[in-house]
Chain A
């Protein structure tokens, strides 16, 4: 006797034998939905180092909804679970199958990891991640062909006001990836863009440079770039705030300039102060430890100024942000 347990999303019939394809559970083309967000099956196309500790992973994600720069996804950083309900079990009338225990669907680490989109080409999503722990450590070993799931798209994108003619992007470390996606959008919007990218040292700069010291990636997106390292091993020595101050000082009409930044909080704080002092607009992308990413657990709070008596209130980084206007953030 055989039991065919069917995929509840597509209701497709299956071939016999143990069936281990979690992709069937999610939004693959055969069961296209018009969902605006959700959990989607993805296949690793490519996963390669860009520099020390930083990797680019390209994920084929059929049916993934429209995305914008600044948005992020919650990526599963462990092998696909085998959902109980899509297994096909063989048994005879007198010997019913023994269920083999819930552990087949468990996995570590439990929670998904929030990662920004670094770019997108059709249904291929690009993510650049730095290996820092359990989840990203597993991700680093995910070979081409690995199947996983992505929850998203999440968060509010970087706004591109029609009033701007110039943009300055300031990325520090793993804050650089979302800037690549943003540079593409700004280029399409006809905004003249300069990207200032900082890293501690040359080995931690996830960008390739050409003969003139320009980032190949930003040049390909129509943006000029200034690379900085704290120890001077690549590009300018020193902090990203120095070239930022120079660019802001040189701007004819600061009101037509927007500065976008993502990176270490202390860096963003100074980027925000310098920019608002100069009279330009500033949008910062914040990071918080997250459980859900969907605005339900209330874990990812940010202090945002408001007109209440005390002058601030908690907002959620995952769903109200992660992008906030710099002047709205109450720094600790």
Chain B
């Protein structure tokens, strides 16, 4: 059996697979559907200081090979997360990465400090890339100077936790934001969040989503995501010695292999979980099979091995 374990900023994962934030709730929702211990790590839905109810209905609409969502970071808030969700996450026996969101630096720092001493949490994923709320951090994710500033502030409050910065694809040059996050002290980068998009109901002449726009995810965005991972890998992450968590449309083992070759060390699965929560088993097995067939003893041999 090839060795599937990877190291993300000093955190040992049994394999590179993790959930993409917001597509897996807080773990208990999926417990009946798949053994989550198939994963290398669990990434939670975004958490903000105060609970957020999110955007009005409709919040999701399907498109060809993908979907738009405008959930609006609906979440239970920090206090209930600590009281109700952390105990559930502890039962998973997996490293947990908590995705954090906010409207200003103080919000982010407050959540960061509250999680600094929670054992089961190993890393924070800084969401500065949600396209669906007016002040949901995207302002930090599209301007390099702000990206550096917030990364630095959150990193200083992280304590034992590692810091992953999640990048938006809705920028002219994603490597500039990636470099800015690295400058601010990011231990890892994750990409991509969803692509801002719109679906129009031609009869009513209105956008289908109440929020008008939403974020496109699923197989449709995979080639964009693979390209962005590769650019960030070669231009920023590899020179800086920082790992990438790649995501965007991963549905099969083959998709996962593309991301690994492009330079991703970790892999997050989102929309595909809605279709088949057990796809993570197939993805893991296909990676295993591929490594065996290519005579690799460790997954690390193919990370960034694109020719």
Contact = CB atoms under 8 A, between A and B. Distances in A.
A139 B62 CA distance: 17
Q: Could you say which of A5, A35, A83, A101 has the most chain B C-beta atoms within 10 Å of its C-beta?
A: A83
Contact of B74 (A9, A39, A105, A314): A314
Given A84-B282, A108-B65, A298-B74, A314 B53 contact: yes
Contact of B54 (A38, A105, A314): A314
A290 B67 CA distance: 11
A36 B277 CA distance: 14
Contacts of B218: 110
B275 A110 contact: yes
A297 B274 contact: yes
A255 to B, nearest CB: 34
Nearest to B294: A96
A105 B251 contact: yes
A68 to B, nearest CB: 16
Contacts of B258: 102
Interface residues of A, number: 48
B231 interface: no
A39 B277 CA distance: 8
A300 B61 CA distance: 11
A54 B208 CA distance: 26
A48 to B, nearest CB: 27
A76 to B, nearest CB: 8
A294 B277 contact: yes
11 contacts: A3-B293, A25-B278, A38-B277, A39-B276, A85-B282, A106-B252, A291-B271, A294-B277, A297-B22, A298-B74, A302-B57
What is the predominant secondary structure among interface residues of chain A facing chain B?
loop
B274 A296 contact: yes
Contacts of B57: 288, 301-302
Interface string A272-293: 0000000000000000111111
A102 B252 contact: yes
Contacts of A109: 62
Interface of A: 3, 5, 8-9, 25-26, 35-39, 76, 81, 83-85, 96-97, 99, 101-102, 105-106, 108-112, 149, 151, 288-302, 313-314, 319
A110 B252 contact: no
Contact of B286 (A85, A108, A298, A302): A85
Nearest to B288: A85
A300 B29 CA distance: 15
A3 B54 contact: no
A288 B253 CA distance: 32
B239 to A, nearest CB: 30
B228 interface: no
A289 B60 CA distance: 7
A234 B32 CA distance: 45
A289 B33 contact: no
B90 interface: no
The 8 closest A-B pairs by CB, nearest first: A299-B60, A102-B254, A85-B285, A292-B274, A84-B286, A37-B32, A296-B25, A84-B253
Contacts of A110: 62, 65-67, 218-219, 271, 275
B51 to A, nearest CB: 10
B282 A83 contact: yes
B254 A297 contact: no
A234 B294 CA distance: 67
